């Protein structure tokens, strides 16, 4: 473990986790994440961002298109990553994750579409799921073939990846592959790691599950597979999946349990388990050496899906 990671975990434990434990209103969490994204997160050179609108059954949805070096090394025209940002279903945006995604675009040579799906409490469940499904359909309508789309997400966004798969199973073709950084896939909060890692997790307070149940579910049942996609049983063989998570975070078992569901349905799963790292540490690329190493693992999984058609870079 690098000294930077050790100090980062200490800061998270003393300040961020304490702040989240006392949180009552989502607004401060949104502002603090936006401020951290602007001041702390790092992007590669020649990052390019373009706002766009995605059509959907519930009205227009804003999205951010991201790529790097478009003039000298244009992204592959017919292949794309559709990425759903994290933030506990109440915070985050394409902008808070744009620097992480720019680095991923740099590493893979792929263009990334990051939808600004609706968030709670203004728009509770299932609004976010509906928006993510609409974004996937929009890309297909625009000419992207499902086998040329890779789905990704972190935390709540990672959960939405699997909510989308549950929604389209038997209805639409699956994407080429999926990847998730520490997804949350069971809003019943039955994973043993919520209790086992309550003290070990330097960032997420296990005792604040109400932030999700009260604001996002807002009375809806966590038994619904759209809310807890770990409950879904696949009719078709799911696409290859890559999970990256830490052994000491409260969401550890979410990845392990979702992996079991996919494997039971015949899916291929890659588990990238890291010891003693904070939740979604890849977002600190440029600050932590472990973040760059971990992000490179995800990029290599993505490039393997397309063989020689993409390129992995550091």
Please, how many CA atoms are within 13 Å of residue 281, restricted to the half-sphere of its CB? 32
Active-site entry in 249, 254, 255, 290: 249
Residue 47: strand, helix, or coil: strand
- pLDDT per residue as tens digits for the range 9-45: 999 999 999 999 999 888 988 999 999 999 999 999 9
Q: Is 138 a catalytic residue?
A: no
135 phi and psi angles, rounded to 5 deg: -65, -40
Active-site entry in 85, 215, 279, 290: 279
pLDDT at 57 over 70: no
pTM assigned to the model: 0.96
Q: Is 97 a catalytic residue?
A: no
Contact 114, 98 (CB under 8 A): yes
Q: Is 277 exposed, middle or buried (0-12, 13-18, 19+ CB in 10 A)?
A: buried
Contact 19, 204 (CB under 8 A): no
- pLDDT per residue as tens digits for the range 66-124: 999 876 777 777 999 999 999 999 999 999 999 999 999 999 999 999 999 999 999 99
Active-site entry in 155, 191, 193, 255: 155
Q: Is 249 a catalytic residue?
A: yes
**Bond preceding residue 126 cis, omega within 30 of 0:** yes
């Amino acid at each position: 473990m690098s000294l930077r990671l050790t100090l980062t975990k200490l800061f998270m434990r003393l300040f961020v986790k304490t702040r989240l434990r006392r949180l009552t209103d989502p607004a401060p969490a949104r502002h603090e994440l936006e401020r951290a994204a602007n001041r702390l997160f790092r992007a590669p050179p020649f990052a390019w961002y373009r706002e766009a609108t995605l059509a959907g059954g519930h009205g227009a949805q804003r999205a951010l298109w991201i790529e790097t070096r478009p003039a000298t090394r244009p992204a592959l025209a017919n292949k794309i990553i559709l990425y759903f940002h994290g933030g506990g279903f109440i915070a985050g945006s394409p902008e808070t994750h744009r620097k992480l995604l720019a680095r991923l675009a740099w590493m893979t040579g792929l263009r990334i579409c990051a939808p600004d799906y609706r968030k709670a409490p203004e728009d509770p469940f299932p609004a976010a799921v509906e928006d993510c499904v609409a974004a996937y359909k929009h890309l297909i309508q625009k000419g992207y073939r499902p086998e040329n789309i890779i789905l990704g997400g972190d935390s709540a966004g990672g959960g939405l990846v699997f909510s989308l798969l549950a929604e389209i199973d038997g209805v639409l073709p699956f994407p080429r592959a999926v990847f998730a950084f520490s997804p949350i896939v069971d809003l019943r909060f039955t994973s043993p790691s919520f209790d086992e890692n309550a003290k070990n997790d330097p960032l997420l307070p296990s005792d604040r599950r109400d932030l999700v149940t009260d604001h996002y579910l807002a009375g809806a049942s966590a038994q619904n597979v759209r809310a807890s996609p770990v409950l879904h049983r696949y009719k078709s063989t799911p696409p290859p999946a890559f999970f990256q998570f830490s052994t000491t975070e409260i969401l550890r078992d979410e990845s392990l349990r979702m992996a079991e569901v996919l494997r039971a349905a015949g899916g291929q799963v890659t588990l990238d388990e890291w010891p003693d790292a904070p939740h979604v540490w890849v977002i600190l690329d440029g600050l932590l050496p472990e973040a760059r190493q971990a992000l490179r693992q995800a990029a290599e999984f993505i490039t393997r899906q397309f063989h020689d058609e993409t390129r992995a870079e550091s």
